[in-house]
Structure 1
Amino acid sequence: MSDNTQVYQVFIKATPEEVWEAITRPDHSVHYFHGAATTNTAERHETHGPDGSDWGSGAVMEFDPPRRLVHEWRSAYDVELGAEPASRVSWELDEVSPGLTRLVLVHDRLDSSPRTAESVSGPGWMYVLSSLKSYLETGEALPRAE
């Protein structure tokens, strides 16, 4: 792993199937992912903002429900971020006990995308994962971060 690889881990009181649905279906992602409608199929990753604008899309490299999803990441909602090369996001789900899933998110291939690396670090992915956890465990996502 390079110095720009980011790794996040969260335990969620939900089955891998429930977590998988939440990370692949837009009717779930709009609640916890900054209002974005994110769709992941075996072929394509697409994210649209609350107004329907393109926030980024890319190829899906691995699609193994409900265990592993790997896709390209491009932040098209910002001109400078969108000009950087695509990076890669991996979602790994592991049921550690009945109804408890460990989700590991790895965001890598960021060496040529320093602005993207900065944008998703810190509260970026941690907010999304914390909001996902809250959404699945309580039915309510976190308030949107400003």
Structure 2
Amino acid sequence: MTTDTSPVARAMRVIDADPEQCWRALTDPDLVREYFFGTTVTSDWQVGSPITYSGEFDGKPYEDHGTVLEANEPLLLVTTFFSPSSGKADVPENYQRVTYKVQPIDGGCRVTVEQTNNASEEAAEHSSQNWQAVLDGLATVAPQA
């Protein structure tokens, strides 16, 4: 087994919601669409199940995909992720691994996201900024979930 030594994108946000509310906001398609750049996500969130992310970006439709690797509701979700817009071949070594951790803390929860298999430090930094924007949006949606 090889070890992924690529740069890792990371983001974290404390959210004024309990872990169950955060989980619901991470997995409910109607809630995801509100904070995840208008993306429509489709999955049953069971280990081994597919996930699709679809929408429109810069006027062009897209459909990205992955698989649920781990799901420990409401604390951990691990998926693969692949975007055809990357220009890379749709093969496992080009998939990214995205880990969502929900940790209960006093007054809410801490949600962290890590994304591996980034092409460069610059790509990881760009993804970190995107994930931070996603978590900032999640923080507005989760308390009402």
2:123 aligned with 1:120: no
2:67 aligned with 1:62: no
Point out where structure 1 has 5 or more consecutive residues left out of the alignment.
Answer: 140-146
Q: 1:5-24 maps to which residues of 2 (within 5 A)?
A: 5-24=8-27
Distance 1:30 1:82 in 2: 25
Alpha-carbon contact 2:69-2:78 (below 8 Å) kept: yes
Point out where structure 2 has 5 or more consecutive residues left out of the alignment.
Answer: none
Q: 1:15-34 maps to which residues of 2 (within 5 A)?
A: 15-34=18-37
Q: 1:68-107 maps to which residues of 2 (within 5 A)?
A: 68-76=76-84, 78=85, 81-83=86-88, 85-97=94-106, 99-107=107-115
Let me know the Cα RMSD of the aligned residues: 2.6
Equivalent AA in structure 2 for residue 59 of structure 1: T
The SS at the match of 1:49 is strand
Residue aligning to 2:140? 134
Equivalent AA in structure 1 for residue 139 of structure 2: K
The SS at the match of 2:64 is strand
Aligned residues: 132
Equivalent AA in structure 2 for residue 130 of structure 1: D
Alpha-carbon contact 2:9-2:125 (below 8 Å) kept: no
Distance 2:68 2:103 in 1: 20
| 1:48-89 Cα distance to aligned partner (Å, 9 max, x none) | 1159x543111111011111000011123x2xx152611110
Distance 1:95 1:13 in 2: 10
